[in-house]
């Protein structure tokens, strides 16, 4: 086996990790970890919850307007707060 063929074989046998699949970025650079989210206050803003879910705040606001938010909310006038425990339950099930 040539050296190039051996290198290709070694590469083919190496499992792909999550950090390889996402370009080497760690989970912490993409958003908060589940442990970090658990330490958040009882409610958080929609933009902060969107970051944890990996979606834009615009998308989460659109889901809320349509009544399709995947998390429980506290309506406050024209604004909403996301219940952190609901966010944690959703992410634990993912």
Is there a contact between 80 and 65 (Cβ–Cβ < 8 Å)? no
- Find all residues with CB under 8 Å of 18, minimum gap 6, and list them: 27
Confidence band (pLDDT; 50, 70, 90) for 39?
very high
Q: What is the pLDDT of residues 2-15, one digit of tens each?
A: 555 544 554 444 44
pTM, full prediction: 0.68
Give the mean model confidence (pLDDT) for residues 85-90: 97
Q: What is the pLDDT of residues 44-59, one digit of tens each?
A: 999 999 999 999 999 9
């Amino acid at each position: 086996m040539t050296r190039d063929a051996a290198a290709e074989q070694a590469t083919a046998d190496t499992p792909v990790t999550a950090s390889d699949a996402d370009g080497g970025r760690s989970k912490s650079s993409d958003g908060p970890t589940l442990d970090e989210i658990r330490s958040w206050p009882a409610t958080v803003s929609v933009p902060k919850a969107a970051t944890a879910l990996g979606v834009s705040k615009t998308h989460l606001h659109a889901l809320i307007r349509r009544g399709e938010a995947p998390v429980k909310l506290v309506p406050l006038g024209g604004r909403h707060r996301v219940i952190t425990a609901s966010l944690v339950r959703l992410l634990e099930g993912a």
